[in-house]
Amino acid sequence: MMLNPVSRLPEKAQTLVARRIGELPCYQCDIAASNSVETVVEMLKKNLELPGVLLRQDGKFVGALSRLKIFEWLGRPYGVELFYKKPISNLYANLNVPDHIYPSDTYINIAVQRALNRPSEITYEPIIISFGKDDLRLLDINVLLLAQSAQLANANRIIEKQIEIGRVISSSLELPKVLALILEQMDSVIPYSRAAILLYRSGKMEFAASRGYPQDVDMEEARIMVNNNKVFNDIVVSKKASRVKDAALHQDWQHIPNTPPTRSWLGLPLVQDKDVLGMLSISRLTVSPFTSEEMDISAIFAGQASVALSNASLYEKVQSFNRELEDRVKERTRELQQAYAKLKLLDKNKSDFIKISSHEIKTPITVISGYMQMLALDNALEERHRELINNTNTGIERLKEIVNTMLDVARLDTKEMELEFKEVELEALITEIVAEFSQSMSERKIAFSIEEIKGLPTCKGDADALRKAFQHLIINAIKYTPDSGRITISGRLTGKDRGGKVIRPSMQITVTDSGIGIDPKDHELIFDKFYQTGKIMLHSSGKTKFKGGGTGLGLAVARGIVEAHGGQIWVESSGQDETTCPGSSFHVILPASSKLTARI
């Protein structure tokens, strides 16, 4: 007698993407072992989906026969004559097939491994699943293999989603965009009605991103007090996922106003460095509880959301710091601009003061000079009076030089110095200047030499202005060279500037001394107006005396004049030392007036 010759699906059999064999389509096809093979064959012909039959004797399980084995043995010589009209138990006994029964909670990958490890003659036979006492069902081995393939395909799909989301997370740090993408991608892996990512702030869960909620619901205003919600509080405290099979039966469940009620729900904490950043909330509007597998998959997305939250938080902090830094830089820039404007105004006022003062001082100097000249014409003057007049005239000339230097600085600052460019022979110009100071250098026993200047070409320039520039350089060398020292002026043709860059043919004049030298930190400062090295009060008076005093304008004037001629000026010195006297070399480059490429 046939007991239940029908196929039956397990209650959980929704899809081939499952983890355990009990979730796969299987068949309950129990028949009495006394039934004839003919009867069983007719049943198998009517139910083509059945992989075989389960045999029972007096209600007890005897064994299983597959469709393949039954038709194989009937197709053998004399198979029909031997078995067709006889009880199927005879065929089963003749085959002597071992039965393999697996519990319904066996993982699919383990069941596949065990099934494929069976003897070769039964490798692809159906397997028997036990759902409990006397509840046995047959599972087609092909369905099992397809389920494993679906598992792998689904795993690959999830990995691809992870990689895709990971790529987006790494390419963007905009939190709303990243979180919205995570929820969108989840929909293709885990079926849900609506989902949200909530941030945990000050004891409240606030919605940061949502999907599937009614458009007229303001999710930004929706907040959940964690202390008043046992489900959410348990997730925050335990840092573990939680699921609700049917929220309608849950006493502590709180529905969001103006939204369809949630039935099945899954919540996963978003944890980073042991801190709960928020929660991933997944809802279904029908009673369809989330499986353990779906929880595992959701946990992957929760982990990615945690990384996104953490990275976005750090990014926001960096952005906030950068904005604050930019504001501070802007404020400091404004302050510096204001200070620069003040300094510029002060510098202009100083230049104007120098110009006005110089003009004003010139008048009394002229008057005093005139009276001194008149006194000098008196033949009745005694010798000591004439000496006083001569000394006074010397002081007046020195004062005129200082005033003229101050005027030169003012003119250079205001671009008012008028230059008359003509052909200038530097050899003659420098020789004349040296002659002016020959007596002073002789008195101080300073050796002076001019080298390699003879034969240099002329340059286009203002002779008077260039005279002043080289006068200041030579005076500077005399002042800072001790008695019995040496000063050398040399020249050469060049086609490169100070930095080695190729320029038009030029002449380089170098004034070298064996003086006290200049500290490298002062190499640029010495060309600024009024800058003087050392303690000013310790300087002696006189423009050619050792460490003689001055206005601190000479080198500034020299630089202004050289640059006005399109040239360069700089100093080289290893340091300042009044004992070892390392010396200094002042270099001046001036463009030549004719093409001299062949000689450079």
pLDDT in tens, 261-304: 899 999 999 888 888 888 888 999 999 888 887 888 888 878 88
Q: Are residues 166 and 137 in the same domain?
A: no
- 193 and 116, same structural domain? no
Considering the domain architecture, whether residues 505 and 588 belong to the same structural domain is answered as yes
- Cα dist from 63 to 39, 52, 89, 129, 593, whole Å: 17, 11, 9, 12, 117
Work out the pLDDT band at 541, boundaries 50, 70, 90: low
Cβ-proximal residues to 73 (8 Å cutoff; 6+ apart), any chain: 79, 83, 91, 94, 95
Q: Locate the DSSP E strands across 462-501.
A: 486-496
Q: For residue 354, what pLDDT band results from cuts at 50, 70 and 90?
A: low
The confidence score (pLDDT) of residue 537 equals 44
Residue 324 located in a structural domain: no
Residue 377 placed within a domain: no
Range of the domain at 107: 4-149
Report the range of poorest mean pLDDT among 32-46, 243-257, 344-358, 519-533: 344-358
How does pLDDT run across 50-89, given as a tens digit for each residue?
999 999 998 899 889 989 888 988 888 888 888 889 999 8
Residues 134 and 209 in one domain: no
pLDDT at 456 over 50: yes
- For tokens 């929704």, name the residue: 14
**Same domain flag for 138 and 275:** no
* H/E stretch holding 449: strand 447-451
pLDDT of 573 higher than 50: yes
Per-residue pLDDT band for 413 (boundaries 50, 70, 90) equals low
What is the reported pLDDT for 169?
A: 62
Q: Are residues 141 and 180 in the same domain?
A: no
Q: pLDDT band for 35, please (50, 70, 90 cuts).
A: very high
Asked if the model's pLDDT at residue 18 lies above 60, the reply is yes
Phi-psi label, residue 114: left if phi above 0, alpha if psi -120 to 50, beta otherwise? alpha
Among 149, 181, 210, the domain-final residue is 149
Asked if the model's pLDDT at residue 306 lies above 60, the reply is yes
Does 595 score more than 50 pLDDT?
A: no
Q: How far apart are CA 538 and CA 547, in angstroms?
A: 8
CA 285/CA 295 separation, integer angstroms: 17
Query: In whole angstroms, what is the distance from residue 179 CA to residue 181 CA?
Result: 5
Q: Kindly report the backbone phi and psi dihedral angles of residue 571, in degrees, each rounded to the nearest multiple of 5, phi listed first.
A: -125, 150
Which residue type occupies 227?
Answer: N
Q: Is residue 370 part of a domain?
A: no
Q: Are residues 139 and 192 in the same domain?
A: no
Q: How far apart are CA 106 and CA 452, in angstroms?
A: 102
In DSSP terms, 102 is beta-bridged to 129
Q: Scanning the structure block, which residue is given the tokens 């170098």? A: 510
Here the CATH number for the domain that contains residue 229 is 3.30.450.40
Tell me how far the alpha carbon of residue 56 is from its chain's centroid. 73
For the whole model, what pTM was predicted?
0.44
**What's the mean pLDDT in 463-485?**
91
Distance CA 408, CA 414 (A): 10
Lowest mean pLDDT across 86-90, 371-375, 479-483: 371-375
Boundary residue ending a domain (116, 149, 182) = 149
List the single range of 243-252, 393-402, 435-444 with lowest mean pLDDT. 393-402
Same-domain pairing of 252 and 131: no
pLDDT at 170 over 70: no
Is residue 206 a part of any domain in this protein?
yes
Q: Does residue 77 sit in the same domain as residue 169? A: no
Beta bridge partners of 137: 129
Residues 440 and 588 placed together within one structural domain of the fold = yes
| The last residue of a domain, from among 316, 335, 360 | 316
Single-letter amino acid, residue 495: G
Q: Which pLDDT score, from 0 to 100, does residue 543 have?
A: 65
Please tell me the predicted confidence (pLDDT) of residue 357: 64
- Predicted confidence at residue 284, as pLDDT, reads 92
Residues in the chain: 600
| pLDDT tier, 404 (very low <50, low <70, confident <90, very high otherwise) | confident
Counting the structural domains of the chain, the total is 3
| Same domain? 551 vs 485 | yes
Asked whether residue 267 falls in the same domain as residue 145, the answer is: no
Q: Using DSSP, state whether 549 is helix, strand or coil.
A: coil
End-to-end CA distance of the chain: 121
Share the mean pLDDT of the chain: 82
Using CA atoms, how far apart are residues 557 and 404, in angstroms rounded to an integer? 11
The span from the CA of 209 to the CA of 215, in Å, is 13
